[in-house]
């Protein structure tokens, strides 16, 4: 898979030099089966396919040869490379943050279509960087983009600063001298025997104790897959435009976006996946703060924040380059003509002119043109910040066969920790009732609220660390979480503790619990790599405090 950005901006993959083409006008994604996904990025003058205008910010499927026009400029299909054929390859693995990848890694440093790994017909592995934002590093060295680079089983592979070595080792062939083959047979036999007894224990045959304790199978159903999308906005602080006027103009030109407060302009929509787990029978679930409100500044990369601010500064200066007193009253006609031709590109002017007209007609202002200039100056001088709002958040249950994510249960964010020090949040199903298939919940009354001792208690965590594409069975369409053993690795800090093992994108919000008592000890929120890989989790006592405050306020 490969993403092509199309627009008039010189940074686009396909640059179209036309005043009717927006900076980022559309995106075209090539799919393995040979067709493409096209999305108009809310461009000013729109996109047509075979003569029919398509809806902005909505993906459609197109095929090579379709007549696609961006503004006034048709797509030259010769500029889009032919699909690379992998018919002779033993394995192909698309890697990125988009859900269409076989290996989905939800992380801000990972591009939507970041890289591709292939095993050729001779069993040799190669990797290619798909012109990603943060690159692919092989043994710490950045590889060139759009070139196949051979890799070995022992090589380390990073997408930006995200280590994916362990995630791709299952795909890369292991060198097997005859001695290693014999050893592998012995190990496999041991795994089968151990796996049998492990299976019995995990399913409660050995630890049922008359139903006094839950089984891992019970806990599995209490952990849910989370999928969500949110909208990033830029906000004009102390906005001088009346709320009714601001909202009317925004709704007229962006009918399909989420709710924007007065002074907010939509910037982009992002989607992601995570994990949550049930706390009670009223449908409340725990997850992370960065899952519930991912637009908070501490979660947005500095480069993305800077890019948004630069684009907004550019937009304001392009929409309102001059004041009336600098040119003359004819400038009003020029602005109005520009607004009629490109309403989304000049909607700030539309707001200013509408407000001035209304107040002048009501006799509340006498200097019509002077008032317009004052609004222009105020908007230009407004402090601008980045905000966001959730568009949708839904959960899917382990073992359920789904044909589409629309079948997941909707939920809302009901409580969020006050700061990033405690990266926790509480969701609640819209129906406010935990499904009957969930036999076990992590009741806050039973949380472990003491201090963990390093290397003492056996812990486990359950979650969806690789997103829907890795958790979902391709035949039954059911989803299954990862279940892993771990242990606290050092003395906990005030809010968090370290545990051994990787924690990948999508695992955020996973419960970490005592493998013997099934008491919750923490909520997974992140990790880091320094030779070895460690995960990080917020201590359970802070989730209990947030839960008690939420339930107590009802």
Q: Confidence band (pLDDT; 50, 70, 90) for 531?
A: low
The whole-number pLDDT of residue 183 equals 38
The verdict on residue 224 lying in a domain is: no
Whether residue 530 sits in one domain with residue 433? yes
Per-residue pLDDT tens digits for 391-417:
889 999 998 888 777 789 999 999 999
Comparing CA positions, the residue from 92, 89, 93, 120 lying closest to residue 104 is 93
Mean pLDDT computed over every residue of the chain: 84
- What is the β-pairing status of strands 284-287 and 125-129? unpaired
Give the H or E element holding residue 250: helix 243-253
Tell me which of 56 and 174 has the higher pLDDT.
56
Answer yes or no: do 310 and 351 share one domain: yes
**What is the distance between the alpha carbons of residues 194 and 78, in angstroms, rounded to a whole number?**
57
Are 18 and 55 in a shared domain? yes
Q: Which two tokens stand for residue 485?
A: 């053993």
64 located within any domain = yes
Does one domain contain both 187 and 248?
Answer: no
Q: Kindly state whether residues 321 and 428 are assigned to the same domain.
A: no
**CA dist., res. 29 & res. 16, Å (int):** 17
246 in the same domain as 136: no
- Among the residue ranges 267-281, 422-436, 463-477, the one predicted with the least confidence is 463-477
Dihedral (C-alpha) 196, 198, 201, 204: value to the nearest 10 degrees? -70
Give the least confident one: 36-40, 147-151, 401-405, 534-538. Answer: 401-405
Six-digit token string for 520: 């919750």
Is the domain of 422 the same as that of 538? yes
| Helix segments in 346-415, DSSP class H | 347-361, 368-381
Would you mind telling me the total number of residues written for the chain in this entry? 554
Q: Domain of 133: which CATH number?
A: 2.60.200.20
Q: Specify burial of residue 258 (Cβ count, 10 A radius: 0-12, 13-18, 19+).
A: middle
Q: What percent of the chain has pLDDT over 90?
A: 48
Residues 6+ apart with CB under 8 A from 171: 91, 93, 117, 119, 125
Statement to judge: residues 37 and 96 lie in one domain: no
Tell me, yes or no, whether 397 and 542 share the same domain. Answer: yes
Residue 469 falls within a domain, yes or no?
yes
30 within a domain of the structure (yes/no): yes
Joined tokens for residue 381: 């001088």
Residue 170 confidence (pLDDT): 74
Structural domain for 395, as ranges: 390-552
pLDDT digits (tens, 9 = 90+) for 66-119: 999 999 999 999 999 888 888 788 888 999 988 888 888 888 889 999 999 999
Q: Cα separation of 222 and 437, whole Å?
A: 9
Residues 269-288: pLDDT tens digits?
A: 788 889 999 999 999 999 99
Rg value, the chain, Cα: 27
Q: What letter would DSSP give residue 78?
A: G
Q: What are phi and psi of 534, to 5 degrees?
A: -130, 145
Instruction: Give the pLDDT confidence of 195-247 residue by residue, as tens digits.
Output: 333 322 333 333 233 345 788 989 999 999 999 888 888 889 999 999 999 98
Query: 317 pLDDT exceeds 60?
Result: yes
Count up the domains in the chain and report the number.
Answer: 5
Note the helical H segments in 273-426. Answer: 289-292, 302-319, 324-327, 330-341, 347-361, 368-381
Percent of the chain with pLDDT over 70: 88
| Whole-number pLDDT of residue 203 | 34
Tell me the average pLDDT across 24-52: 93
Residue 227 lies in a domain: no
What pLDDT is attached to residue 189?
A: 34
Q: Is residue 219 part of a domain?
A: no
> Same domain, yes or no, for 136 and 187?
no
Q: Which of 385, 416, 439 is the last residue of a domain?
A: 385
Per-residue confidence (pLDDT) for residue 429, from 0 to 100: 96
Query: 479, 466 in Cβ contact below 8 A?
Result: no
pLDDT on residue 469: 58
533: its two tokens: 């890989």
Q: What is the pLDDT of residue 406?
A: 79
Q: What is the CATH number of the domain that holds 548?
A: 2.40.10.10
pTM here?
0.59
Cα separation, 342 vs 352, in Å, equals 15
Predicted confidence at residue 186, as pLDDT, reads: 36
| Last-in-domain residue among 79, 105, 130 | 79
Q: What is the pLDDT of residue 199?
A: 29
Q: Are residues 348 and 260 in the same domain?
A: yes
Closest CA to 524 of 550, 477, 486: 486
Whether 359 is in a domain gets the answer yes
Flag whether 524 is in a domain: yes
User: Would the pLDDT of 511 be above 60?
Assistant: yes
Which residues pair with residue 37 across a beta bridge?
A: 29, 61
Report how far apart, in Å, the C-alpha atoms of 107 and of each of 93, 111, 268 are: 18, 8, 17
| Residue 6 confidence class, pLDDT cut points 50, 70, 90 | very high
pLDDT at 328: 85
What single string gives the DSSP state of each residue in 411-478? Answer: EEEEEE-SSTTS--EEEEETT-S--TT------GGG---S---TTTS-EEEEE-TTHHHHHB-TTT-B
Residue 351: its pLDDT value, please? 94
> Same domain, yes or no, for 380 and 310?
yes
Mean pLDDT of the 17-25 span: 95
């Amino acid at each position: 898979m490969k993403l092509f950005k199309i627009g008039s901006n010189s940074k686009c993959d396909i640059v179209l030099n036309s005043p009717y083409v927006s900076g980022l006008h559309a995106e075209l994604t090539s799919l393995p089966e040979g067709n493409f996904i096209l999305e108009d990025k809310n461009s000013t003058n729109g996109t047509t396919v075979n003569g029919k205008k398509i809806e902005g910010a909505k993906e459609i499927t197109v095929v090579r040869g379709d007549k696609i026009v961006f503004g006034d400029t048709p797509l030259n299909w010769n500029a889009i490379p032919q699909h690379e054929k992998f018919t002779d390859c033993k394995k192909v693995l698309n890697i990125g943050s988009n859900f269409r990848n076989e290996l989905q890694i939800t992380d801000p440093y990972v591009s939507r279509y970041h890289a591709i790994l292939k095993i050729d017909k001779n069993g040799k592995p190669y990797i290619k960087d798909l012109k990603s934002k943060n690159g692919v590093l092989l043994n710490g060295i950045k590889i060139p983009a759009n070139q196949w680079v051979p890799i070995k089983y022992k090589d380390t592979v990073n997408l930006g600063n995200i280590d994916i070595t362990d995630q791709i080792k299952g795909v890369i062939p292991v060198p097997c001298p005859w001695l290693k083959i014999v050893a592998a047979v012995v190990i496999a036999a041991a795994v089968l025997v151990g796996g049998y007894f492990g299976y019995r224990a995990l399913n409660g045959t050995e630890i049922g104790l008359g139903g006094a304790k839950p089984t891992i199978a019970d806990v599995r159903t209490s952990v849910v897959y989370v999928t969500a999308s949110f909208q990033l906005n830029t906000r004009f602080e102390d906005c001088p435009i009346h709320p009714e006027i601001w909202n009317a103009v925004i709704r007229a030109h962006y009918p399909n976006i989420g709710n924007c407060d007065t002074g907010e302009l939509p910037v982009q929509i992002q989607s992601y996946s995570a994990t949550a787990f049930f706390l009670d029978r009223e449908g409340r679930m725990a997850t992370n703060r960065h899952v519930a409100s991912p637009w908070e500044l501490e979660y947005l990369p500095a480069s993305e924040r800077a890019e948004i601010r630069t684009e907004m500064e550019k937009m304001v200066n392009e929409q309102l380059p001059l004041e009336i007193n600098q040119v003359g009253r004819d400038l009003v006609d020029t602005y109005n003509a520009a607004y009629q031709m490109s309403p989304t590109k000049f909607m700030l002017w539309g707001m200013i002119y509408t407000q001035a007209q209304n107040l002048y007609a009501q006799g509340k202002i006498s200097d019509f043109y002077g008032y317009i200039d004052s609004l222009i100056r105020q908007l230009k001088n407004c402090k601008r910040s980045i905000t966001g709002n959730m568009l949708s958040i839904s959960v899917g249950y382990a073992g359920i066969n789904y044909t589409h994510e629309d079948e997941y249960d909707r939920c809302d964010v009901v409580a969020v920790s006050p700061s990033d020090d405690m990266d926790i949040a509480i969701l609640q199903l819209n129906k406010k009732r935990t499904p009957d298939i969930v036999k076990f919940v992590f009741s806050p009354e039973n949380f472990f609220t003491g201090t963990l001792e390093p290397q003492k208690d056996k812990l486990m965590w359950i979650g969806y660390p690789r997103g829907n594409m890795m958790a979902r069975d391709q035949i039954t369409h059911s989803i299954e979480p990862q279940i892993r053993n771990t242990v606290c690795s050092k003395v906990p800090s005030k809010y968090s503790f370290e545990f051994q093992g990787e924690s990948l994108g999508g695992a955020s919000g996973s419960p970490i619990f005592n493998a013997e008592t099934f008491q919750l000890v923490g909520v997974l929120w992140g990790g880091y790599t320094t030779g070895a890989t460690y995960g990080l989790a917020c201590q359970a006592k802070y989730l209990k405090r947030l839960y008690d405050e939420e339930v107590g306020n009802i």
